[in-house]
Structure 1
């Protein structure tokens, strides 16, 4: 009897996942614990592993197709077992679909009968087409707009080629092909939008093997929606997952490298260690331009980053993974009660005044030496160091787990005409003031041009929102999830203050910290602000 491989539930918010790539083809032998497919969720890309031994009899959900949590995506069984064994295993998925209003019961049986031709096609030739789907390029992206098609119908396309320019809610990016072939049809025209996962074009496969992806997706579309009512019961029987560590070096064991075949070929021919290259394609995929940039900068630099891994502080390019800690009983109750009082993310606020006289003098000294260091750069550096010294604020609540970050990545709020974006300054605690100044300006400039890569505006430990340049004395900022805190910074202005019993005029600044009360308490926020004030009032500490 064939055994289904089901779409697992990989995050608390996950309702469906997209098959990015099948790592096995129909007819392949599969062992328990072996990765069979790569799936894209609402959070990251992961590998699904088989729970049983057998042969891959049938692929139900093709590449770039979606499936609901708990839906069968493939079937395992004995060698030579017929497809109707898979059909009988799929019958529980057909029953719920008959209950759903849109698809009537009679047609629901036809999609179930359609997959048998797809099984042979996966192993042999076929003249089908390959769908190019709208990729998910940021956590908040639900749809994207095609700005420009870089290929036209009839053009030959190679894996890694940019085929279209896409406008998302954050920036403009290029969509690259994952397969070789010919552009057969453009579904979404220029200046038109499409939802994430929807086909925007079709390729005619170059060879029979490439065409295998086309027959499977068509009948698979009804299948994911069918088992949705029973998803919670089936999710536990799905697959075990292994995170794809996209930023780890090659020493991290047998991780699966996300790179286009063209990128791999160029790297191999030029003797470049592709594991040290950072991908800019969809989901962090390494593409041709990434290899060319690495070769332009020189191949020795990435190799040097790999050596100092044993140190207490991670070397550049070797960023430690965050730790996932289950919520304690006390923290669960706090999170529940705070959410009842303030639905969504329950904020609380702490405000301090900071004497910025010494910080302003540092800025003036830097200016005299022709160094571009702003007050905001000093604040960013101080925030990063304070986060490093008080790691309890460097957390995020995701479902029923607290994620403790091991790196200090500071978001910088940048105002655009269309709204607001927060580029992320990574490892800000390890960078000098001049490096922070240069990188912040470069990120802000590219943000205004909508040229940021997805990993440059996602994640982060804390955000700094500075409205001082607009003459705002004090304000309260809203947290940018999944972060758990944000610092609102006002203007530096002359104020009359009492120092040692004497009235004096000092350059003062107000800073307000907004915290997620589900994971950060008042005392933690207060300790962080005390450290921040100490760093800014004695800025020479920022140098050590």
Structure 2
């Protein structure tokens, strides 16, 4: 018996998905566990594994097109089975939903016909196809229309690029955080001469693939400091305070469409080498949109490091439901006083952003003190 396969909700915030690639074509036999398609969500591109067997009888979404969660994606059934009643029923249900949603209130005359090549060209140029008049059959936009628009119109107007699903999610998430959580900031400067020496000694004994970064050591120190200060490893809820029993560190990673925060689970229990390998793997998969939703969820504290970009210091917006985030700047050479003498040393500026609803200044300051001790005497991180 034929069964409708709907667009799945592949993350807790997913509202619509884009079919990047179909791995099967109409008429193909499919089995439970097969990867039917690659679907892009607001967070990542994921393989969609089906849990039924049969033949692929209908494809409801073309490659490169998007549709809402629970809309018809495909139909799987017996070979040669009549599915016209299912298609009609599904389209009727979708039509009712779209009537209730203004962004879907379009009629047939509003549709824009465009060739695949022209569509790719328009996307690459960041051009809205609604601004282009097609010269092909029935007004279809073709390659020459894009080329003409680029020569005559594009230079005259500002470029407009549609928001990606990820960018919309980031904007919504950070706006809510900034407006709901009263932020305050604690600034500190840390002498990292011993940190530099420790990293060099460790890396001298490791292979090129195993090299440990400053960020790896910082994340370990952050986790150990949270272990000493469990009153920092908490989240605000309107009804209660959530005390997290585990320490999961989110690591902010810049990707093409915005920002992803893969999570290092139980970071306080892992070695520097384990943390380093895990971060390398998750950063690589984040940038290629292959990271899984469960790997970017349930952080209890976040670290954002812009030191590699030469940023001396900055403040970050809290990654709710975390109650704090650490901003890490670059390592700089500065005159410092040691044993009543001025010398040139290496310093790093950090900023702790806290949610004042739940973390008071004294609590945040105590945490910074412990973190500073770990980073200025980093050999203690190894024991």
Aligned equivalent of 1:370, options 188, 202, 206 = 206
Residues 74-473 of structure 1: matches in 2 within 5 Å?
127=1, 129-204=2-77, 343-370=179-206, 372-473=211-312
Q: In the alignment, which residue of structure 2 is the partner of 1:487?
A: 326
Quick one: distance in 1 between partners of 2:240 and 2:337?
45
- Taking structure 1 as the reference length, the TM-score comes to 0.51
Higher RCO structure (Cα 8 Å, ≥6 apart):
2
Alpha-carbon contact 2:335-2:342 (below 8 Å) kept: yes
Alpha-carbon contact 1:132-1:201 (below 8 Å) kept: yes
Quick one: distance in 2 between partners of 1:136 and 1:470?
36
Q: CA separation of 1:533/1:194 partners in 2, compared to 1, >3 Å: closer, same or farther?
A: same
Q: 167-176 or 144-153, which moves further after superposition? A: 167-176
The superposition leaves residues 492-543 of structure 1 with CA deviations (integer Å, 9 ceiling, x where unpaired) of 1111123343322221111101122222222221121111111111111101
Quick one: distance in 2 between partners of 1:193 and 1:476?
36
Quick one: distance in 2 between partners of 1:175 and 1:159?
11
The superposition leaves residues 435-481 of structure 1 with CA deviations (integer Å, 9 ceiling, x where unpaired) of 11111111111111211111111121111111111111000011222
Quick one: distance in 1 between partners of 2:186 and 2:78?
59
How many positions carry a matched residue from both structures? 297
The superposition leaves residues 298-333 of structure 1 with CA deviations (integer Å, 9 ceiling, x where unpaired) of xxxxxxxxxxxxxxxxxxxxxxxxxxxxxxxxxxxx
Quick one: distance in 1 between partners of 2:252 and 2:78?
44
User: Which consecutive residues of structure 2, in runs of 5 or more, have no partner in the other structure?
Assistant: 98-174
Alpha-carbon deviation of 1:483? 2.0
Question: Residue 525 of structure 1 aligns to a residue in which SS?
Answer: helix
Q: In the alignment, which residue of structure 2 is the partner of 1:62?
A: none
- Taking structure 2 as the reference length, the TM-score comes to 0.71
Q: CA separation of 1:518/1:158 partners in 2, compared to 1, >3 Å: closer, same or farther?
A: farther
Alpha-carbon deviation of 1:377? 1.0
Question: Residue 141 of structure 1 aligns to a residue in which SS?
Answer: coil
Q: 515-524 or 357-366, which moves further after superposition? A: 515-524
Alpha-carbon deviation of 1:419? 1.4
Alpha-carbon contact 1:139-1:458 (below 8 Å) kept: no
Q: In the alignment, which residue of structure 1 is the partner of 2:335?
A: 496
Alpha-carbon contact 1:424-1:458 (below 8 Å) kept: yes
Quick one: distance in 1 between partners of 2:13 and 2:22?
24
Q: CA separation of 1:354/1:155 partners in 2, compared to 1, >3 Å: closer, same or farther?
A: same
Quick one: distance in 2 between partners of 1:411 and 1:193?
29
Alpha-carbon contact 2:39-2:47 (below 8 Å) kept: yes
Quick one: distance in 2 between partners of 1:500 and 1:200?
70
Quick one: distance in 2 between partners of 1:444 and 1:461?
19
Aligned Cα root-mean-square deviation (Å): 2.9
Quick one: distance in 2 between partners of 1:493 and 1:150?
51
Q: CA separation of 1:525/1:220 partners in 2, compared to 1, >3 Å: closer, same or farther?
A: farther
Q: In the alignment, which residue of structure 1 is the partner of 2:138?
A: none
Quick one: distance in 2 between partners of 1:393 and 1:420?
24
- Runs of 4+ with deviation above 3 angstroms: 217-222
Alpha-carbon contact 2:72-2:90 (below 8 Å) kept: no
The superposition leaves residues 365-411 of structure 1 with CA deviations (integer Å, 9 ceiling, x where unpaired) of 11222351111111011011111221121122244233222211111
Q: CA separation of 1:140/1:218 partners in 2, compared to 1, >3 Å: closer, same or farther?
A: closer
Quick one: distance in 2 between partners of 1:434 and 1:219?
53
Question: Residue 491 of structure 1 aligns to a residue in which SS?
Answer: strand
Q: In the alignment, which residue of structure 1 is the partner of 2:120?
A: none
Q: In the alignment, which residue of structure 2 is the partner of 1:524?
A: 363
Alpha-carbon contact 1:473-1:490 (below 8 Å) kept: yes
Alpha-carbon deviation of 1:426? 1.3
The superposition leaves residues 95-137 of structure 1 with CA deviations (integer Å, 9 ceiling, x where unpaired) of xxxxxxxxxxxxxxxxxxxxxxxxxxxxxxxx5x422222222
Q: CA separation of 1:502/1:418 partners in 2, compared to 1, >3 Å: closer, same or farther?
A: same
User: Which consecutive residues of structure 1, in runs of 5 or more, have no partner in the other structure?
Assistant: 1-126, 226-338
Q: In the alignment, which residue of structure 2 is the partner of 1:46?
A: none
Quick one: distance in 1 between partners of 2:217 and 2:285?
21
Quick one: distance in 2 between partners of 1:144 and 1:430?
36
Q: CA separation of 1:541/1:476 partners in 2, compared to 1, >3 Å: closer, same or farther?
A: same
Question: Residue 441 of structure 1 aligns to a residue in which SS?
Answer: helix
Quick one: distance in 2 between partners of 1:130 and 1:400?
42
Q: 358-367 or 520-529, which moves further after superposition? A: 520-529
Name the structure with the higher helix share.
2
Alpha-carbon contact 1:495-1:506 (below 8 Å) kept: yes
